[in-house]
Structure 1
Amino acid sequence: MENERRDFIKKAGLAGASLAAGFSLPSASNAEPTPASDSRYRAEQSIIGPYGPWLDRVMSRELPSLSFRNDSFTDLSEWKTLALSRTRERLGIPVLGERPRVTVHDSHTYDGLRIEEVSWQLPYGRPTKALVLKPENAEGRLPGILAFHDHGGNKYFGWRKITKTGKEQHPLMKSHQEHYYEGMAWANEVAKRGYVVMVSDAFTFASRRVMLEDVPENQRSGLNDSDPENPTSIEAYNQWAGAHEHVMAKSLFCGGTTWPGVFFAEDQMALDILASRPDVDESRLGCGGLSGGGLRTVMMAGLDARIRCAVCVGFMSTWTDFLLHKSFTHTWMTYVPRLPEELDFPEILGLRVPLPTLVLNDEQDQLYTLPEMKKADAILQRIYEKVGASDRYKASYYPGPHKFDQPMQQEAFAWWDKWLKN
């Protein structure tokens, strides 16, 4: 599945529901037509055939039960308490314990920035590696930003996808930044504007990836971890890791958690670490990222009110879009069983209302359909309008495929400046 997704993205130019009471199925007849000869089936094509329109009607017969758009919800605080509690329950967020000790492995200056390479040990897995960037001569406490790297079908890399350190850059990361970010290491660029920026490896990426030596030999597809920086070895690992996603997702479900739940727990720990730094003003924290980083933004900004300003890039649509059209372009990292009954996908991000939120979309983004992206936008607009905070929500649309190019970066940076500096 992941290999097909990666091929799709590359060719395109980028790297449970419950039955609603009273829902009726089409009546049977003595001469029931076959799907191939019946125009009603052809008119309702989906990526899961005739089951797609049926399932979508089941899911969207009414507003999700915890949607703030329901007229029954009039008290913002009461709604948030209920909706946040249920969302956390559905995510199955693991408890990680106290904030771990941070080890600094290297500190140097590059291109006007002070850069630290750090790590910390969570209760499971290998240490999490991260990069911290801030202006070289900065004084006092600065606003902080969690910068989330993308997925890109590339689990071998993590924080290197959106940073530069002055050390030799891997050629695959140079091409990656050219393709998705118009050649920019955007974490560096926003740090230069007066922020302490932290970029940590996400669960199953880079330092947090599943090492081949840590799984049974019969699950390694004949691969090993020797010569890991070789591009051919990296491609082979990424193909293996893509095929391994369904294994990880099933195991997470068996353990009572979800992939977004683990993302959130680990990103929240990174936020704890960032907020505890003596050079960070913990009252001025933001986050953002492209694609998989946009997904992490939805979860992090939606569920942790310490994120005072959020920028979600290239990851905003509806559950209907995934259900009918686009789940094959996404990984197992997106889905939370049962939650669509209670909140549509954009409403997870809407849990942060009225805190400032920017959503950046690409009009020809191959991972979504434009009509559903605009439906998601309308949902968020309605949520912010309901509490009189329309000025704190904005969605912008840019021409082109899945990306976070320089014009989009400039809008994101200006949004953070507006809400975290003033």
Structure 2
Amino acid sequence: MQLFIRIVLTACFSIGVFGQDAMLCMGHYWTEDEANVMMKRFKSEWDDLSSWEKRADQIKQGIIEGMQLSKMPELSGNFNAIIRDKKVMDGYSVENIAIESFPGFYITGNIYRPTDQKDKHPALLCPHGHWENGRMREDMQIRSAVFARMGAIVFAYDMVGFGESKQVDHDIPIALLLQTWNSKRVLDYLISRPDVDNTRIGITGASGGGTQSFILTAIDDRIKVSAPVVQVSAHFFGGCVCESGMPIHRSEGHQTNNVEIAALCAPRPLMLISDGADWTRNTPQIEYPYIRKVYEGYQAEHKLEHVHFPTEQHDYGYSKRTAVYNFMAHHLKLNSKTIPYDKGYKEDFVTVLPREELLLFNSKNPRPENLLQGNDAVMTYLGFNGN
């Protein structure tokens, strides 16, 4: 949490660098009272499926235009994937991977795969939040391994500036764009694999990983199931530049928040996980009822689930993971019976690996020679000219 606070403060400092602060909605942009009133105002602006879809289109365009997604290069394939060091575990395997996000910029992570011999598997994107060790922390490894043993191909990948993704700083002003684009490229890559069933693709992450989950889900219908954990809030817009450092919530013609962005998942399956010790504490009263109204318009209430842990804190701990296991198993047709169960799922078959075994690049395996290095180099390449 200390790391998260440091990044929040850094992000706030970075707003002026990008020069879009007039339209930014960052951190605790509204009070809880203000957010309650705003959600009622939002609801007054639509009253049926047709009027919601008109609003939804405006929100989606606001995200795409606000993060300047059109500046990203048109790519077809060209992942130049580097995969090394396969480790076979109990019912799953782990490999270290990098794919090219755009020429000279790499996404680093790990691929977890089931050891069964099926031709096609569902796939899961697993972004992470602002915690030390990122994709290599214990809870991230555990959930990735469990999903793999259940039958999914899982790509756990670094936030920019975390783990092995050190080509730019995490507080680069276009962090939100880079992370969304990285998620899209991970999705592109998974769908390109011959062992992936592209009709069964899910995404889940907590905190900043939850933000990455609901933003990609909002703008890319190829995500079929989404479970953002401890992040969807009416009053909190994400405290980091990677979540709200570009104007995706507000423009001259509209105002929205992360509740409505998450609702763009409808009518696809969506699970909200909330707790009593962070900005999701009001989800049972505020955020969930609003999103449920959207799902009612599609006659799809059964595809929306919400689990609230009033005595828990901001994490992706055991109780939250196991709720998502059942949700993903149902909607992605995973086999949850491959996981030991005794009054709850048993995760002790997972081998938590040391950081060194999950790293792709080292003295024996150097980084590619075409690397763009530094904030200015990446921003200039993408047409932001380092400003």
The answer to whether TM tops 0.5 is: yes
Work out the CA distance in 1 between the residues paired with 2:91 and 2:3: 40
Corresponding residue number in structure 2 for 1:225: none
Q: Do structure 1's residue 101 and structure 2's residue 17 form an aligned pair?
A: no
Cα deviation for residue 389 of structure 1 reads 1.1
Check conservation: 1:126, 1:208, Cα contact below 8 A: no
The whole-number CA distance in structure 2 between the counterparts of 1:3 and 1:343 is: 28
Q: Name the residue aligned to 1:22.
A: none
| Pairs within 5 Å for 1:288-307 | 288-307=204-223
1:351 pairs, out of 260, 264, 283, with 264
Counting only pairs closer than 5 Å after superposition, residues 214-293 of structure 1 correspond to structure 2 as 245=171, 248-249=172-173, 252=174, 259-293=175-209
Residue pairs, 1:8-27, within 5 angstroms:
none
What is the aligned partner in structure 1 of residue 282 from structure 2? 371
1:71 correspondence with 2:71: no
Q: 2:242 aligns with which of 333, 344, 362?
A: 333
Displacement of 1:350 in angstroms is 0.9
**Cα gap change, 1:376 to 1:17, in 2 (>3 Å):** farther
In the alignment of these two chains, the number of paired residues is 311
1:342 paired residue number? 255
Unpaired runs of 5+ residues, structure 2, are 9-20, 335-387
Q: Is the 8 A contact 1:106 1:118 kept in 2?
A: no
SS at match of 1:121: strand
Answer whether contact 1:127 1:207 (CA < 8 A) is retained: no
**Could you tell me which residue of structure 2 aligns to residue 202 of structure 1?**
159
Using the alignment, how far apart are the partners of 2:142 and 2:65 within structure 1?
Answer: 36
**Is there any run of 5+ residues in structure 1 with no aligned partner, and where?**
9-15, 19-46, 162-176, 212-240, 253-258
Q: 1:390 to 1:129 in 2, by over 3 A?
A: same
Name the structure 1 match of 2:136. 160
Aligned-pair distance for 1:364? 2.1
Corresponding residue number in structure 1 for 2:144:
187
Aligned to 1:174: none
> 1-side partners of 2:68 and 2:160: how far apart?
15
Question: Which residue is 2:293 aligned to?
Answer: 382
Q: Deviations over 1:271-322 (max 9, x none)?
A: 000111111101110000111111111111111111111111111111x345
Residues 354 and 332 (structure 1), Cα distance of their counterparts in 2 relative to 1, 3 Å cut: same
Q: Deviations over 1:31-54 (max 9, x none)?
A: xxxxxxxxxxxxxxxx99xx977x
Match of 2:86, as an amino acid? S
Q: 1:84 aligned to 2:63?
A: no
RMSD: 3.5
Any idea what SS the aligned residue of 2:101 has? Answer: coil
Native 8 Å contact 1:69 1:382 kept in 2: no
Cα gap change, 1:386 to 1:119, in 2 (>3 Å): same
The code of the aligned residue for 2:159 comes to: A
The whole-number CA distance in structure 1 between the counterparts of 2:123 and 2:103 is 26
Q: Give the TM-score normalised by structure 2.
A: 0.70
Contact 1:133 1:191 in 2 (8 A): yes
Equivalent position amino acid for 1:87 in 2: I
User: What secondary structure does 2:164 align onto?
Assistant: helix
Q: Equivalent residue for 1:360? A: 273
Contact 2:130 2:207 survives alignment (8 Å):
yes
Q: Conserved in 1, the CA contact under 8 Å of 2:30 and 2:236? A: no
The CA deviation string for residues 367-417 of structure 1, in whole angstroms up to 9 with x for no partner, is x16236741222211211222211111111012111222222111011111
Structure number having the greater helix percentage = 1
The alpha carbon displacement at 1:338 in A equals 6.0
TM-score (norm 1): 0.65
- Give me the identity figure in percent: 19
Q: Which amino acid aligns with 2:41?
A: L
1:403 paired residue number: 315
2:125 to 146, 165, 182: 146
**Kept after mapping to 1: 8 A contact 2:206/2:229:** yes
Q: 1:195 to 1:3 in 2, by over 3 A?
A: closer
